Chain A
């Protein structure tokens, strides 16, 4: 489905009021709702029906992979490629390899998390759509896309009723 080219945004003053508005808007069956807020509003993911982020799976997978790669690297270099007898200890002296394995797990897991998070957010973006410059300061916006069958007047009425102090139509 193509993304609607226009939307109506309502600006709110408090996280509480936008949370209620978001939950109410969702019960109306409007799709593609979004909220733009200066800080994460708790409960918004439920109010908008967003699923759990997939970023943790990347962290887990890449962290395990990093740890495994670290251990394999150490065993291969110390016991296979150039077996070096250090103080008569076994070549695969795995307890001595634990710290580096751990650090590799954290390093790879961390870098992967960083990349995955920005990919999930579809950032970086050269020209982000900034609806209002106060939204990173102290205003909260509920964005209702004007999909087919969504009447602009209904949305405006609803947002005003929900306590938005400013409502306007924007291009998406």
Chain B
């Protein structure tokens, strides 16, 4: 798995000896990363792809029924007007945040280990945000009028309401998707050029030649490219912090007890990063095995990500406790009731799944052996995402089903179709991700080569900055 070698500590906080072996040369990176895109995929890929397609089929059928029959197929009913749809939306937008954190914030912090994981994490971001966007759009009821969300001069002589957080969401999520896509593509261009120059067939040369835009790697181009990449990282950093903040405004700017809190923006961001990192770990464990990339995405890399899961998990656990404290301290009976209701009344099971999975389970990562154990981290990463899904369910449903007046209380019972499109979302996400790993370079080759330990030290003579 990981090879221990002695190297001088390179830049960054973490010693590299645990990550990439000194034996890995530049051409090994090219060969091993490009190889999976050049051969017929293995049985493991096909099995995963077929399962993902099946799940996608379930989702497509559910959406077909939704379009034909309408919202009534779901369990939504007053007072619970938001349930699985918005839960799924918040869940998937949150998943995306880890990718942006890895690609942007860790880039600005000069964390070189990110090069093993950033490409696939960025892909994850894009697919997760695409998946997320489907839910509010389909939830609008008349989906074919979705373009009304955009402010444009129209025959109705109406404008959108810019004072609504739901509209802020439209802008935040669409900007997030656009910038993530541009950032990702920019990173891919030099790697597309690498694949073009390997030129196994004329068709591959043509396709990747077009995708690479004619990139050659001239120093003049790198000069502009690096500046632009830095700027993208800066902009994406602003988005990591802002997108889930805006999503949390959907709740925080309302007056429903359990939603109306200033704690939401920072906690939503921490929770998003927490769930996203768990998803990255789940995907990488499968992917590195599927394509035999264990020497490029090492246990050391996974351990670093598990540390981030631990830290953000502590923040999440702390936020749960703070919410209860503030409810008690506020002396607001409605606020207090919401939290008692969450923990001990009809939806207590959802609360405790959330609490155990998010606040208790990640504690195992305090132990180095656990952080470095593949089975342990696989189980933990999945449990974290189960917990994070239930967290959104918990916030949305338990706050809505019992608000101020007991006479308006009711419960929420999902229908089979609620589960149908939830499964479909996972199907869509995994299908897109599997297509990505099949056709695109899953590791940022150019960036990884620049940080190989067998180059470190040699480049010291270079004038930095």
Contact = CB atoms under 8 A, between A and B. Distances in A.
Contacts of A7: none
Contacts of B172: 99, 103
Given A43-B464, A99-B171, A136-B190, A127 B458 contact: no
A154 interface: no
Contact of A136 (B158, B217, B458, B459): B217
B231 A59 contact: yes
Contacts, number: 211
Contact of B159 (A46, A52, A82): A82
A97 B463 CA distance: 45
Interface stretch (B160-168, B339-347, B376-384, B399-407): B160-168
A111 B178 CA distance: 8
Given A39-B450, A86-B163, A99-B249, A53 B223 contact: yes
A55 B227 contact: yes
B194 interface: yes
A59 B193 CA distance: 26
Contacts of A39: 190, 222, 446-447, 449-450
A50 interface: yes
Interface stretch (B208-216, B323-331, B417-425): B208-216
A40 B194 contact: no
Contact of A34 (B220, B228, B445): B220
Interface stretch (A113-121, A144-152, A160-168): A113-121
Interface stretch (B23-31, B73-81, B135-143, B430-438): B23-31
A37 B222 contact: yes
Interface residues of B, number: 67
A74 B461 contact: no
A100 B168 CA distance: 6
B450 A133 contact: no
Interface string A69-109: 00001100110011010100100010011011011101101
Contact of A137 (B27, B157, B168): B27
A78 B171 contact: no
Contacts of A64: none
Interface string B452-464: 0001001101111
Contacts of B458: 14-16
B464 A133 contact: no
Contacts of A116: 228
A31 interface: no
B39 interface: no
Contacts of B238: 102, 106
Interface of A: 14-16, 19-20, 22, 34-46, 48, 50, 52-53, 55-56, 59, 73-74, 77-78, 81-82, 84, 86, 89, 93, 96-97, 99-100, 102-104, 106-107, 109-111, 113-114, 116-118, 120-121, 123-131, 133-138
14 contacts: A16-B459, A16-B461, A37-B217, A38-B190, A41-B462, A50-B219, A53-B224, A81-B159, A99-B168, A99-B249, A100-B162, A123-B214, A136-B194, A137-B30
The 9 closest A-B pairs by CB, nearest first: A125-B214, A138-B26, A43-B462, A124-B213, A117-B228, A128-B214, A77-B159, A120-B224, A40-B222
